[in-house]
């Protein structure tokens, strides 16, 4: 039996992660035919198909899943070898993948920029997706660190709090609500822009209204903070968001919530096993950003 090369492992892993040959080619800057040829060569070498190919998608077989898991470990070991040599030379290099929950980018580019200035040899890949998808990717090892809302303990993961934020009402430009503070009862008299069930913001708002014994009528539900802001900007309703997110819409008035104001916590999660040096360095910069976050 011959030897499967590291580059071939990278190609197979990219196909599995991207879900197709064309997408993997774009990621690796290879033409699709080269990606397909590489996968076929590995399949011939191993004597087993690695992917089920259909018209619409490419899915790893059982052998493919086993290969991808082992290949990730091998590629990670190679990265650690290079990292160890660079560390001995006093140079930090490598790649770190940062997952970010939708709507939570905020001031993160400042932290990433500071990281890049301090360690220009480190490449930071950013992936934005729903929180559950991001956390699953951390468990699988395809994402090193994830910035998400902290809604409780996550099995097998370490959580580092960055921001604990008191939430505020975001209201339209023609709102008749008080400028200083507003109660949940007053907010409930207005059309309400809610986030979809399962979102951390929605969970915090639901808890606050239950604690206050107040019911609201959600006229709109969205899974996008920009859409929520547009609906409020058009005076179609009010919403409640963390003040750090409200700061991203300076044209919209924000009003403090007088009683039962919900709170929202964001932080970094990562696996319990040791982080690679590049991920550790990024975590330090994220912790600094958390301390300065609005």
Which sign does the torsion angle of CA 114, 120, 125, 131 carry? negative
Can you give the pLDDT at residue 106?
Answer: 65
pLDDT, tens digit, 9 for 90 and up, residues 14-39 = 999 888 899 899 888 899 999 999 99
Q: Looking at the whole model, is its pTM more than 0.85?
A: no
**Range from 6-10, 108-112, 142-146, 286-290 carrying the lowest mean pLDDT:** 286-290
Q: Is it the case that residue 220 has pLDDT exceeding 70?
A: yes
Choose one of 89, 121, 150: the last residue of a domain: 89
Contacts of 232 (CB under 8 A, 6+ apart): 170, 171, 172, 193, 238, 239, 252
- Asked whether residue 74 is assigned to any structural domain, the reply reads yes
Domain boundary, last residue among 54, 72, 89 = 89
Q: Which of 57-71, 97-111, 115-129, 259-273 has the highest mean pLDDT?
A: 57-71
Span 169-198, mean pLDDT? Answer: 89
| Residue 97 counted as domain residue | no
Q: How far is CA 54 from CA 27, 57, 197, in A?
A: 21, 5, 33
Domain harbouring 216, CATH code: 3.40.190.290
Provide the 8-state DSSP code for 142: S
Do 259 and 172 share a structural domain? yes
CA distance 135 to 145: 9
pLDDT at 3 over 80: no
- Most confident of the following: 81-95, 110-124, 226-240: 226-240
Mean pLDDT computed over 204-225: 89
Pairing of strands 192-195, 254-257: unpaired
Overall average pLDDT of the 91-118 stretch: 81
Domain that holds residue 181: 165-264
**Domain annotation covers residue 109:** no
The residue out of 89, 112, 145 marking a domain boundary is: 89
Predicted local confidence at residue 191, as pLDDT: 92
Is residue 34, in this structure, part of any structural domain at all? yes
118 in a domain, yes or no? Answer: no
The number of angstroms, rounded, from the C-alpha of 281 to the middle of its chain's C-alpha atoms is: 18
* Average confidence score pLDDT of the chain: 86
Rounded Cα gap, residues 202 and 187, in angstroms: 15
The model's confidence at residue 95, banded by pLDDT at 50, 70 and 90, is: confident
Q: How many domains does the structure of the chain reveal?
A: 2
- Give me the pLDDT at residue 289, please: 66
Q: For 203, what's the count of Cα atoms within 13 Å in the CB-facing half-sphere?
A: 9
Q: Are 257 and 141 within 8 A, CB to CB?
A: no
Helix, strand and coil content of the chain, in percent to the nearest 5, comes to: 45, 25, 30
Q: How far is CA 221 from CA 3, 39, 41, 118, 174, in A?
A: 53, 43, 49, 41, 21
Distance CA 43, CA 95 (A): 28
Assigned domain for 60 exists: yes
In a domain, 10, yes or no: yes
**CA distance readout (Å), 265 to 156, 242, 262, 270:** 19, 9, 10, 16
Q: Is the pLDDT of residue 294 over 60?
A: no
CATH number at residue 1: 1.10.10.10
Which of 24-33, 51-60, 88-97, 267-276 is predicted with the least confidence, judged by mean pLDDT? 88-97
292 has pLDDT over 60: no
Query: Does any domain span residue 81?
Result: yes
pLDDT band at 291 (very low <50, low <70, confident <90, very high): very low
């Amino acid at each position: 039996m011959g030897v499967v090369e590291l580059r071939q492992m990278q190609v197979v892993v990219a196909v599995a992660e991207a879900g197709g040959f064309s997408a993997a080619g774009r990621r690796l800057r290879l033409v699709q035919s080269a990606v397909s040829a590489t996968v076929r060569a590995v399949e011939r070498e191993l004597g087993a198909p690695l992917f089920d190919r259909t018209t619409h998608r490419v899915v790893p077989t059982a052998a493919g899943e086993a290969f991808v898991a082992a290949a990730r470990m091998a590629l990670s070991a190679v990265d650690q070898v290079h990292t160890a040599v660079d560390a001995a030379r006093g140079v930090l290099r490598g790649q770190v993948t940062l997952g970010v929950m939708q709507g939570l980018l905020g001031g993160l580019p400042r932290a990433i920029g500071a990281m890049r200035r301090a360690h220009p040899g480190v490449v930071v890949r950013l992936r934005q997706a729903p929180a559950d998808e991001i956390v699953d990717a951390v468990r699988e090892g395809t994402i090193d660190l994830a910035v998400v809302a902290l809604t409780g303990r996550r099995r097998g993961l370490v959580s580092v709090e960055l921001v604990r934020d008191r939430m505020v009402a975001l209201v339209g430009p023609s709102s008749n609500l008080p400028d200083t503070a507003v109660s949940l009862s007053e907010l409930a008299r207005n059309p309400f822009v809610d986030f979809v069930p399962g979102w951390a913001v929605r969970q915090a708002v639901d808890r606050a209204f239950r604690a206050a014994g107040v019911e609201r009528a959600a006229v709109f539900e969205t899974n996008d903070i920009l859409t929520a802001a547009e609906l409020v900007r058009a005076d179609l309703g009010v919403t409640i968001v963390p003040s750090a997110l409200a700061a991203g819409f300076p044209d919209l008035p924000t009003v403090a919530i007088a009683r039962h104001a919900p709170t929202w916590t964001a932080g970094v999660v990562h696996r319990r096993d040791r982080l690679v040096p590049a991920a550790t360095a990024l975590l330090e910069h994220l912790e600094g950003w958390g301390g300065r976050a609005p």
